[in-house]
Structure 1
Amino acid sequence: MLGLGAGGAAKSPKQPSFVSYLTPEEIIVKGKEQPEKTDDVPLLPGELLLCEANTVLKCSQEEGSQRGVYGKLICTNLKVAFLCEETPDDSLPEFRNKIAGENDITLQCVDQLYGVYDDKKKVLITAPVVKKYPERLIIYCKDFRVFHFCLSYTKEEEVKRIVSGIIHHVLSPKRLKRLFLFSYAAIVPRYIARDQTLMFETINDWQTELERTKGKLNYKVSSANKGYKESMRFPQYFIIPVSLPEDGMFKFQGKGIPIWCWSCQNGSALLKMASLPKDVDDATVQEQKTFLDSVEKALHRPPYEEVRVEDLSVSLPSLPEIQMAYGRFKQLFLIDNSTDFWDTDLKWFSLLETSNWLEIIRQCLKKAIQVIEHLEEQKINVVLKEDTGSDLCCVISSLVQIMMDPHYRTKHGFQSLVQKEWVMGGHAFLDRCNHLRKNDNEAPVFLLFLDCVWQVVQQYPLAFEFSETYLTVLSDSINIPIFSTFFFNSPYQKDEHQWVEEGPGAQKEPVRFYTAWDWSVQFEVKALSFLTNPLYTEKLKQERSIKKAPRSKHQRQLSLPLTQSKPSNKKGFFRDETGPFIKNLLGKRISKLISASDDVPSNYRAFYENWHQKPVDFHGLILPCVDGPEIRIWAQRHLRWIPEAQVLGGGNMATMQRILELTDEIQSLKKKVKESPTSLPQYSKVNEADSRRKKSVRRSSLYPFAMLHVSSFRPSISTTTWQSWDGEDDLVNREDEFIDSEELGLL
């Protein structure tokens, strides 16, 4: 919600170095000695208060308004926070985060800092000494919150500390072990979550996944990299084709190895790989050709083992293009005040189209459907290829599995998918999210994936066990430095940095980091219901067994011998009979020397249209609509802090919450009937139901993240239409319970 904020700072330049520059060992020791509260400042275990400023005004976001709340602005090694004594309000959201509250901003969540000098807004950058300090501090957050803090009533010395401290601790490059992640994990005992999420840290997890997808016939778990003895980019265990020789796999630093992602029931498989270096000499080209020959023998064995290579670096936008598009896109939601909101509203759709963010989402979904067509219809193996094999390969492979496998549409299945494809797949979260502030090359690849998943969820809500709120909270967890899930570039980096020393000469001991799947760390038990979709119905086991019965053999083995098979490609490097596999993998340099590719043609459009003409099986294959306006704005995530964008008593979340309430009532009645089967439960106490209805009326489309702000519905744009309305002030100032959505024209 606009106006909910936090802030923090450090000591003045003349004082000793910042406390955050203590070694991790000193932080751990001092963190154990200090109490949980310092001068009534709530701190987490391992959290250190670095600086503070009193008499800070958190300003209202209404244009021209001087209203606000006075309080204390603090900066710790975890967050910037605003502390005040606000009167409790029954309209505050029920859904609260125990780690980062509404007035808290983790240091990693800060996007940009601005200072207001004589009514002029300027970007704040890292500097040795700040000569002039701003009268107002503006903080833009990565979750689209905007905070305004007026420092005019704060002591000059405190202003210097808070401003220079925030600039330093937010914008300065950091070392990995100085993140709060290590301070917290070293003090708090590791909570072992007893759930069904596969972490893929052991060989048993990979075996379980291989058996579940019926891929053991053609693929095996490799332990060649156990102890990271061969490659620091790969996990210790991963799955490769059975016939692929393990000797020499890491000759090109792991590049070119086809890594198994998932197997379809018809026998086709999805794989991904990193591209081999292209700017090499002739001798290296020959070595690459020899290596790819062995890969081709493992994957391309007609008529049963056809393969297609999808070069994502050619067909999808590059990382700089994704970063540029998201940079333009997020500016639509970082609104300083209501006047800016209404001014932007005049050209909002043109700005949205110019950003190109929704078009990139559309391209990713279309590419996933094209891959599904090859797997499902043509029954051929598909290898996703890009330079690193850990960015867009993760996006497309994950989307394909979500659309084809209902297991990944459950909460635990989705979490296991993220662990397998992203965490163990080596996605560089630390660099892509720019947690260490090393550069400005922040490419939101994982956010792109979550936005794509949301598009599928909002089109097929009955097919997913997790809710829209689950995805929104997961996007917020990326910037909470308590969970290791999104703070390392590779499994090796995590394992290498989990060793800490308790003191001088002491033996190193490993720490166990929390994961983002430990939801009880962030939320109370009652709030966890928001993460589950009440409309989801798990498929009955009887239906599963009936459907799986005729699939004892791969469909490919049953159908292909009866049809005209494609003639196999003869092996050859510079000859016309060279297959498309090596052509695609060796790049343009080699392709110029050999004949044109005879790739299998894509029937994507026919496959897409035929599927949408059939009834939807929510526990089978689902394909999202990608045409026209079907690709939409993820409103809950992007608009949740803008009061002007809310819909009173409406929106998807208001409807979903009412369903949750009805579900709770049904469960309560069932429990009462079970306890007293002979007598019907007396429902004379209507107070409980009445209170729920009243709470539902106060909810809006921003629920459960923000409280209701009726006063912000009056547009700041002066138009004859609005001026001609009689009694609009009276309408705005009504009590929430008596406002009719039809009176406001909000349906």
Structure 2
Amino acid sequence: MATGGSGAGSGSGGAGNDHYKRNTFTSYVAPLPGDMRATADTNEWCLPSDLRDVHLARPRLLPGEQIVASAPAYMYSPIEPMDSSINISHNNSNGNGMASVNDGGSHKEATFGLLSVTNFKLAFVPLHATSKRNPEAGVVTAPLCDLYQENTYLGRNEITLNNIDQIYTIAELGRAASALQAARMASHVSRRKKLEPFKQHNISGRIAALHIVCKNFRLLKFAFQQQDSKLSGASDHGKLIASALVRFAYPMRHDLSFAYAYREPYYSTLGPATGTSMYASKNDWARELIRCGATEWQVVSSASVPLLQNPLHAGKYTVPPHFVIPKSCTVDRFLDLSRAFCDSRAAFWVYSYGASAASLVRLAELQPAAQQDTKLENVMLELVRKCDERRQLKLLQLTDRLPSIQDVRRSYQKLRRLCTPETPEKFMLQDDKYLGLIEKTNWLFYVSLCLRYSSEAAATLRSGITCVLQESNGRDLCCAISSLTQLLLDPHFRTIDGFQSLVQKEWVALEHPFQRRLGHVYTAQGSGSGGSGSSGGNNGSELLEGEQSPVFLLFLDCVWQLLQQFPDEFEFTQTYLTSLWDACFMPIFDTFQFDTQAQRSKAVLDSQLVLRPVWDWGEQFSDKDKMFFSNPLYQRQKGDLAGAQSSAAGAGAAHRRSLAVGHNRGGTAGGASGSTPSRNTINPQLFATVSSVPQDRFLQPAHRICDLSVWDQCYYRWLPVLDIRGGGQPQVDLFHRLLLSNIAKVQRCLELQSYEELPDAYFEVTGESRSSLQKEETPVEDEAEYVDGVERRRKPTTKAGTPTNGFSPVSGNHLQLSSLSSFFPFGSPIAGDAPHQLYDILNSSSELLQDTTSILDKSSIL
């Protein structure tokens, strides 16, 4: 703290701390952010010597990544108060770089560090007491959090530029005012200004603080130290960062994305035996036709159609590389009919169900010029009707029943404002009328509508009637309803591999415009109103602001609602869904970065873009993180083994448990060989015509608003005020994993006829002591036993008789379990020995999670 002088920053919280008296002594306290009364003698911010090397705390850079701008800054919690009564002081005794904030007796912290903008991300590297310093490189890095989800490419305080949606600047209030005071005035329009994407050169005045609103509901708040403009070398740090952000966070061309600069080779771990189908070849679609028993449909590849290869005619069509059309129609006639529909999206087959192979078909609406004459639409529907065995068809018009993409965008923006309050006062005002505000967003209403009409479509298919989903362009909410319908009917799509295949088929292969809907690219016409979104024309890579709409998030929310209603029917967890939404803004992976396959191919050809599918989760996360993608309640049914990728000989690799869940220790499900799919084109007529999709595993969800919930892990995880230690769904999930861990130990004891590894819960219930059991059972250490011809060795025990597996007594488990965040693994990290205890639970339970057979199929252990 400061020495000498009164009112020079003793940290008492008085109003006198808002300014500094005449500099008649040496101060060891940093001026308040925004304080303009620095002199030449205090040009180093008056920081202690161990904090002046802040620029050494530079972020870790990827190959091809470059720093655009850096500045010292304070990072604040999203809803911590930032007013004039806050005192900031640096503890000189330990140099921890944490600002102690006193506000009405409560203790809060503001972190001091280096804020950097690169061509890939916005990174804040704090200076902590526990920082690890590399003496050779002279770099200070933040400590790692063992139980916080760690991304290979991003640190905890880093976000990609793709994730930035809105940037607000907070102007300083005067020469003697602090950045904290300016931040407190953020709600005032005159002080809080939004930076527009196309006005980079209009940033005027000094910037005391920045508010950055992210697309994944995160709010970042930074305040900057200001220096007197008369001093040599002085700069406006806030303006420096803001200018860099508005320039690089809103690219006007897709090739300005970091993916084009990141040229590192990619070695896929998604081998041919994986259960995730990419639907990037004709064979992938043919296998799906075989699995569904759809014999009246044919796969068409654009590369094999002369009309689509003719430059004079190719520009008239925007069809995907592979699509499925009725056999009763020739390819040329189908393409001729498709010109009357938006985006050339005539009737595309996506799924068939039941003994009668009733089909699920996606269809766009007629072009505005052809809407007066519905003859062509009737012709197309008649072609679809001929593919139905019972000649029955139901047209489900989605445009009039579901919200438009503009409605979804407005609802999302209202929901995000509710989840990103700037101040505690605003949070409390929202909390008082929370339910009313949630209702006004209409988000749950739209989720309800999606579940309702997907249930209607599923019921139509179950009754043996073909269902045609029609939407304006057939590429937005049509994707959501079609995907949800298949989730309700087919248990294969409720596995991790199956769900990833479903997203690839419905959203990627059939070309949902991710680039425009997620706002990856901006254009000077950003004020345009946009529309439903035709991807045709010469400006397909550009984005009108009115076309931004997180339709994919609406779909993920619907899937999360299904997880809540049917917790044992899905192999994946809400953590998997949340991580998938975050991955939409990771430009390194191409899955969610393009509107069409043609754009992706052009980027590879012209710019040598390295394609990396997001489904290769090992590229982003460690095995520890991927363990939380698996649902401990999921039970594989016998029908799942038969309803895999192939239902006939030679149709490819049988379904196996996803490689995303740790290491695949076993073989393919059901003892299948897992051979590589044939390179030759598969003819569905050569195989069985009966669908292998089980018909007794469909779901009927409740879709009323009163039956729905708010996806708190995804929307509220960045609000520490809502974090509940030892509560929430993660706590329940961990207890389930602990139960699986105990089951695994008991089963191992029964197999080996050795009971020294019994879980602690056994001794708690029976009242026996582990030491007494050890006296009765005196196993020979490292003695080999053979079970079914496989050698197994007992684990060595300690002198106290406790297995050396890192599993602590029951009391320790309770302490560890109670320390979890309700937003785990996105909440605050766990301290102490808890990581080691949790790893033991994860490793034991993962043995059962990765098993291809159900726990309930094994011999009873009771």
Bin of the TM-score, shorter chain as denominator length:
0.7 to 0.9
What amino acid maps onto 2:637 in structure 1?
A: K
In structure 2, the partner of 1:222 is 300
Q: Any unmatched runs of 5+ in structure 1?
A: 1-36, 502-509, 550-616, 711-747
Residues 1:144 and 2:210 are matched in the alignment: no
Residues 1:420 and 2:420 are matched in the alignment: no
- Work out the CA distance in 1 between the residues paired with 2:549 and 2:476: 10
In structure 2, the partner of 1:175 is 253
Secondary structure of the 2:299 match is strand
Select the residue among 796, 800, 807 that pairs with 1:688: 807
Select the residue among 701, 704, 711 that pairs with 2:825: 704
Residue pair 2:279, 2:285 contacting (<8 A) in 1 also: yes
- Work out the CA distance in 2 between the residues paired with 1:542 and 1:480: 32
Residues 1:405 and 2:478 are matched in the alignment: no
Residues 1:277 and 2:277 are matched in the alignment: no
Residues 630 and 39 (structure 1 numbering): CA distance in 2 closer, same or farther, change over 3 Å?
closer
Render the CA deviation track for 1:618-665: whole Å, top value 9, x for unaligned: 970101111242111001101111122222211111110222234345
Among all aligned residue pairs of Structure 1 and Structure 2, give the percentage whose two residues are the same amino acid.
Answer: 29
Render the CA deviation track for 1:578-609: whole Å, top value 9, x for unaligned: xxxxxxxxxxxxxxxxxxxxxxxxxxxxxxxx
What amino acid maps onto 1:469 in structure 2?
A: T
Residues 1:235 and 2:320 are matched in the alignment: yes
Q: State the TM-score, normalized to the length of structure 2.
A: 0.64
Deviation at residue 522 of structure 1 after TM alignment: 1.2
What amino acid maps onto 1:701 in structure 2?
A: S
- Work out the CA distance in 1 between the residues paired with 2:371 and 2:429: 57
What amino acid maps onto 2:298 in structure 1?
A: K
- 1:182-581 aligned within 5 A: 182-184=260-262, 186-194=263-271, 195-215=274-294, 217-226=295-304, 229=309, 230=314, 233-251=318-336, 252-253=338-339, 255=344, 257-266=346-355, 267-280=357-370, 285=373, 289=375, 292-293=378-379, 295-300=381-386, 304-377=390-463, 379-438=464-523, 439=526, 440-441=545-546, 442-500=548-606, 510-540=608-638
What amino acid maps onto 2:287 in structure 1?
A: T
Deviation at residue 358 of structure 1 after TM alignment: 0.6
Residues 431 and 132 (structure 1 numbering): CA distance in 2 closer, same or farther, change over 3 Å?
same
- 1:665-676 aligned within 5 A: 665-667=742-744, 670=747
Q: Any unmatched runs of 5+ in structure 2?
A: 1-54, 87-100, 102-108, 131-142, 174-181, 187-191, 228-233, 527-544, 648-693, 758-796, 832-862
- Work out the CA distance in 2 between the residues paired with 1:305 and 1:398: 24
Deviation at residue 342 of structure 1 after TM alignment: 1.8
Deviation at residue 152 of structure 1 after TM alignment: 2.4
Residue pair 2:756, 2:803 contacting (<8 A) in 1 also: no
Deviation at residue 491 of structure 1 after TM alignment: 1.0
In structure 2, the partner of 1:59 is 76
Residue pair 2:297, 2:387 contacting (<8 A) in 1 also: no
- Work out the CA distance in 2 between the residues paired with 1:85 and 1:71: 5
What amino acid maps onto 1:516 in structure 2?
A: V
Residues 1:631 and 2:708 are matched in the alignment: yes
- Work out the CA distance in 2 between the residues paired with 1:93 and 1:338: 28
- Work out the CA distance in 2 between the residues paired with 1:709 and 1:342: 28
Secondary structure of the 1:622 match is coil
Render the CA deviation track for 1:186-217: whole Å, top value 9, x for unaligned: 223343422221001111111111111111x2
What amino acid maps onto 2:252 in structure 1?
A: K
Secondary structure of the 2:740 match is helix
What amino acid maps onto 1:205 in structure 2?
A: D
Residues 514 and 466 (structure 1 numbering): CA distance in 2 closer, same or farther, change over 3 Å?
same
Render the CA deviation track for 1:491-527: whole Å, top value 9, x for unaligned: 11111111246xxxxxxxx543111101111111111
Deviation at residue 467 of structure 1 after TM alignment: 0.5
Residues 391 and 181 (structure 1 numbering): CA distance in 2 closer, same or farther, change over 3 Å?
same
Residue pair 1:643, 1:709 contacting (<8 A) in 2 also: no
RMSD: 3.0
Secondary structure of the 1:166 match is helix
Residues 281 and 466 (structure 1 numbering): CA distance in 2 closer, same or farther, change over 3 Å?
closer
Render the CA deviation track for 1:402-438: whole Å, top value 9, x for unaligned: 0000000000000000000000111000001111133
- Work out the CA distance in 2 between the residues paired with 1:709 and 1:684: 24
Residue pair 2:148, 2:827 contacting (<8 A) in 1 also: no
What amino acid maps onto 1:646 in structure 2?
A: D
Residues 1:116 and 2:170 are matched in the alignment: yes
In structure 1, the partner of 2:15 is none
Secondary structure of the 1:399 match is helix
Deviation at residue 669 of structure 1 after TM alignment: 6.0
In structure 2, the partner of 1:68 is 110
- Work out the CA distance in 1 between the residues paired with 2:66 and 2:264: 13
Residue pair 1:136, 1:152 contacting (<8 A) in 2 also: no
What amino acid maps onto 1:688 in structure 2?
A: F
- Work out the CA distance in 2 between the residues paired with 1:57 and 1:111: 21
Residues 1:41 and 2:59 are matched in the alignment: yes
- Work out the CA distance in 2 between the residues paired with 1:200 and 1:630: 35
Render the CA deviation track for 1:693-724: whole Å, top value 9, x for unaligned: 432111131211011799xxxxxxxxxxxxxx
- Work out the CA distance in 2 between the residues paired with 1:543 and 1:486: 30
Deviation at residue 292 of structure 1 after TM alignment: 4.1
- Work out the CA distance in 2 between the residues paired with 1:302 and 1:486: 34
Render the CA deviation track for 1:418-472: whole Å, top value 9, x for unaligned: 0000001110000011111333221111111111111111110100000011011
Residue pair 1:242, 1:298 contacting (<8 A) in 2 also: no
Secondary structure of the 1:270 match is strand
Secondary structure of the 1:206 match is helix
Residues 1:130 and 2:217 are matched in the alignment: no
- Work out the CA distance in 1 between the residues paired with 2:146 and 2:422: 22
Corresponding residue pairs, total = 588
